[in-house]
């Protein structure tokens, strides 16, 4: 034990001596900026250094030289070196700056660090990244495409670059915008990744117009490489009305006339259109239904007929909650005309109801035909409503409204087989226009004779009551010689004039709006009359009667639609009054709470020298009017045309 005790001090002394002779170890951890003085040893200098690359910082792009600056604190280093990766780039002295010419370096990404040595220890900075890029900036794509002639105003104006752009080089100096050759104000924005530039006009210009965008080589990437300006100028045309493709027809290459266009919009505002067209020239007509797929109109299923021999006309069209079309039409079975309704289930067309729809027993022993015509459709939830006019055996026609609940059988809406009559006695009512209020209750407008054996027709609007009866939705005007209204319904004239072809619409507040064609004074030309309900018992005119031309031109086929908030749009056809060489033109206007404003030019929406007929009007989710119609080369108009056209107001 004494001997062991004697060795213990010697061993401890040896260990202490070994510790004192160990070399300095570089921890590689920078110290705080005030590390030049050891706080534990009042004023004794520290050997800890803080090394920082102060310029550039983060990631730096260059196509040439890069100026590097290093800050060293905590003492005076014996040497400071710069490294790119593991390779020494340079040894630098105070004030520790170096210009690195990357011209000889391959393009790519380099990690740069600074290292300072003192008293046998080395201290490293945090690294930065230098990206050497000498490839010119280019345009990857431009939208709309240069030279495009049918551009929607809502289409974003964007240029995508081949790599990120230096944001400070995007300005009014490097990007120009002109409308019809005149510089216009715009807003420029660059995406977060620096690759997509979006241009938005500060004010909507008048259309049609040509937009031109200029890009200069003052635009650079982050490394300073200039934009290679495309050799193809960037300009495109925005028409007054945007076209969904070109002319539409089902039987291509023939001379099969089409007519009676109808339309609805799906949840993405894509048009679904229906029309009647001969399957072969001079042969039977079928109903065709097509959908816009973003590039073209494509058929939905096969052509529709309700009989083996009859021709189908006057389609009405709605979409269910899944965007599938439901279409109704009139068709002869060889003896009589009936209404047929089919819906698309995603793979095929299925009949709604048992087939031919007729409210009158037209197979009686008398064998008198009772044609059912002019269907109008409306839908609320899964309930389908259809209205039509049908003649009885005595030769007088009435309005009928029926309902299919949840796609089930069709049954009458209200008492007396769904019959709707506004005037007592033997008067004929025709051409219904059907809407549903916010509770899903049907309201129907139509034209009807004012009294027995009296040819003039007025417009009536009837609503289904909870007790199953039909009553005036808004009472018709009574006779008032001072205001010019006559008893028995809505009329624009005090004379024996025909109010006809009405169009009824409703807004989200259940306000009713009504348009029809009628002369504004005795022996005058037809104008478009527009009225609205002002409470449960009255109507009032909206603006002046509508007509695109002065003199004896004839306006007709009015269609009226309201946005949920009640903004109104109306469209109609009108003959231009040019004897023998004239045509029927299509017009559209909107109401701004003070006056009607035209959305068409002098010749309307016609495709050159043709006559427009049977327009259908719907409003998309942004409140923009969308129109479909057919056109004929025949002067003075025609029931049939060679093609259908679908266009949306360009805003």
Q: How far is CA 557 from CA 108, 248, 585, 600, in A?
A: 69, 21, 11, 16
Contact present, 544 and 535 (Cβ < 8 Å): no
Inside any domain, residue 113: yes
**CATH number, domain with residue 94:** 2.60.40.10
* CA end-to-end distance (rounded Å), the chain: 106
Q: Give me the count of residues in the chain.
A: 651
Inside any domain, residue 102: yes
Rounded to whole angstroms, how far apart are CA atoms 136 and 62? 12
**Do 57 and 85 belong together in one domain?**
yes
Full residue range of the structural domain in which residue 193 is found: 139-239
pLDDT score for 492: 86
Inside any domain, residue 382: no
Inside any domain, residue 126: yes
Q: What is the pTM (predicted TM-score) of this model? A: 0.83
Across residues 69-97, what is the average pLDDT? 95
Quick one: CA torsion of 573, 577, 582, 588, rounded to 10 degrees? -20
Inside any domain, residue 163: yes
pLDDT score for 86: 94
Could you report the per-residue pLDDT of 460-499, keeping only the tens digit for each?
Answer: 999 999 999 999 998 876 554 444 444 568 888 776 789 9
Token code pair at residue 580:
């023998």
Q: Is the pLDDT of residue 32 over 50?
A: no
Sheet with 596-598, strands from edge to edge, namely: 555-562, 568-575, 584-591, 596-598
Mean per-residue pLDDT over the chain, rounded: 87
Chosen domain end from 239, 269, 299: 239
Peptide bond into 343 cis (omega under 30): no
Rounded to whole angstroms, how far apart are CA atoms 205 and 153? 10
DSSP state of 582: -
**Do 166 and 206 belong together in one domain?**
yes
Chosen domain end from 132, 164, 195: 132
Inside any domain, residue 346: no
Could you report the per-residue pLDDT of 222-245, keeping only the tens digit for each?
Answer: 999 999 999 999 999 999 999 999
Chosen domain end from 239, 267, 299: 239
Rounded to whole angstroms, how far apart are CA atoms 394 and 391? 8
Contact present, 74 and 116 (Cβ < 8 Å): no
Residue (of 383, 267, 370) closest to 323 by Cα position: 267
Token code pair at residue 549:
């031309």
Domain count for the chain, please give it: 2
**Do 154 and 128 belong together in one domain?**
no
Poorest-pLDDT segment among 48-57, 401-410, 606-615: 606-615
Q: Please, what is the Cα angle at 558 between 620 and 600, to 5 degrees?
A: 65
**CATH number, domain with residue 159:** 2.60.40.3710
Quick one: CA torsion of 599, 604, 607, 612, rounded to 10 degrees? 110
**Do 234 and 189 belong together in one domain?**
yes
Contact present, 625 and 648 (Cβ < 8 Å): yes
**Do 173 and 121 belong together in one domain?**
no
Q: Is the pLDDT of residue 19 over 60?
A: no
Q: Please, what is the Cα angle at 283 between 279 and 289, to 5 degrees?
A: 30
* pLDDT range class, residue 13, cuts 50, 70, 90: very low
Beta-bridge partners for 131: 61, 109
Inside any domain, residue 114: yes
Inside any domain, residue 625: no
Sheet with 442-449, strands from edge to edge, namely: 429-436, 442-449, 457-464, 470-472
Quick one: CA torsion of 100, 101, 107, 109, rounded to 10 degrees? 10
């Amino acid at each position: 034990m004494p001997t062991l005790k004697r060795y213990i001090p010697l061993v401890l002394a040896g260990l202490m001596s070994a510790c004192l002779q160990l070399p300095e170890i570089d921890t590689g951890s920078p110290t705080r900026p005030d590390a030049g003085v050891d706080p534990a040893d009042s004023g004794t200098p520290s050997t800890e250094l803080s090394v920082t690359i102060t310029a550039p910082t983060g990631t730096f792009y260059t196509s040439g030289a890069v100026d590097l600056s290093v800050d060293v604190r905590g003492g005076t280093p014996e040497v400071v070196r710069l490294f790119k990766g593991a390779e020494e780039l340079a040894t630098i002295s105070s004030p520790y700056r170096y210009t690195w010419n990357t011209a000889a370096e391959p393009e790519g990404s380099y990690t740069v660090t600074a290292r300072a040595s003192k008293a046998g220890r080395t201290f490293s900075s945090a690294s930065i990244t230098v990206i050497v890029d000498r490839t010119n900036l280019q345009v990857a794509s431009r939208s709309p495409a240069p030279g495009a002639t049918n551009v929607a105003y809502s289409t974003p104006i964007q240029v995508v670059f081949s790599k990120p752009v230096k944001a400070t080089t995007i300005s009014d100096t490097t990007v120009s915008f002109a409308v019809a050759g005149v510089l216009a104000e715009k807003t420029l924005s660059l995406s977060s990744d620096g690759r997509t530039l979006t241009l938005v006009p500060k004010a909507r210009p008048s259309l049609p117009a040509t937009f031109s965008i200029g890009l200069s080589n003052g635009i650079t990437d982050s490394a300073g490489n200039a934009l290679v300006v495309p050799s193809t100028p960037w300009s495109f045309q925005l028409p007054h009305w945007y076209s969904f493709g070109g002319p539409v027809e089902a039987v291509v290459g023939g001379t099969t006339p089409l007519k009676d266009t109808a339309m609805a919009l799906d949840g993405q505002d894509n048009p679904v259109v229906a029309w009647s067209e001969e399957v072969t020239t001079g042969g039977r007509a079928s109903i065709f239904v097509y959908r816009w797929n973003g590039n073209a109109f494509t058929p939905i299923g096969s052509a529709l007929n309700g009989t083996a021999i009859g021709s189908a006309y006057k389609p009405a069209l709605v979409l269910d909650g899944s965007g599938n079309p439901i279409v109704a039409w009139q068709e002869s079975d060889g003896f009589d005309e009936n209404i047929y309704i089919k819906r698309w289930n995603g793979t095929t067309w299925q009949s709604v109801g048992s087939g031919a729809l007729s409210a009158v027993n037209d197979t009686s022993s008398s064998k008198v035909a009772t044609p059912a015509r002019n269907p109008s459709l409306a839908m609320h939830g899964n309930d389908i409503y259809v209205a039509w006019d049908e003649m009885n055996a005595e030769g007088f026609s009435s309005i009928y409204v029926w309902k299919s609940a949840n796609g089930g059988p069709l049954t009458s809406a209200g008492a007396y087989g769904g019959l709707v009559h506004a005037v007592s006695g033997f008067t004929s009512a025709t051409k219904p226009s059907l809407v549903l209020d916010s509770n899903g209750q049907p309201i129907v407008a139509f034209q009807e004779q004012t009294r027995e054996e009296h040819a003039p027709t007025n417009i009536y609007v009837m609503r289904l009551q909870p007790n199953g009866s039909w009553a005036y939705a808004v009472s018709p005007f009574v006779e008032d010689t001072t205001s010019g209204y006559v008893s028995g319904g809505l009329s624009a004239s005090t004379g024996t004039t025909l109010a006809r072809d009405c169009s009824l619409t409703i807004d989200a507040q259940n306000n009713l709006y009504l348009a029809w064609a009628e002369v504004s004074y005795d022996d005058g030309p037809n104008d478009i009359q527009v009225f609205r309900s002002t409470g449960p018992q009255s109507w009032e005119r909206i603006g002046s009667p509508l007509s695109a031309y002065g003199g004896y031109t004839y306006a007709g086929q009015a269609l009226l639609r309201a946005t949920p908030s009640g903004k109104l749009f109306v469209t109609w056809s009108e003959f231009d009054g040019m004897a023998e060489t004239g045509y029927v033109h299509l017009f559209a206007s909107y109401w701004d709470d003070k006056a009607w404003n035209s959305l068409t030019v002098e010749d309307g929406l016609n495709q050159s020298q043709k006559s427009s007929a049977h327009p259908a009007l719907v409003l998309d989710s942004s409140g923009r009017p969308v129109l479909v119609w057919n056109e004929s080369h025949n002067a003075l108009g025609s029931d049939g045309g060679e093609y259908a056209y679908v266009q949306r107001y360009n805003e």
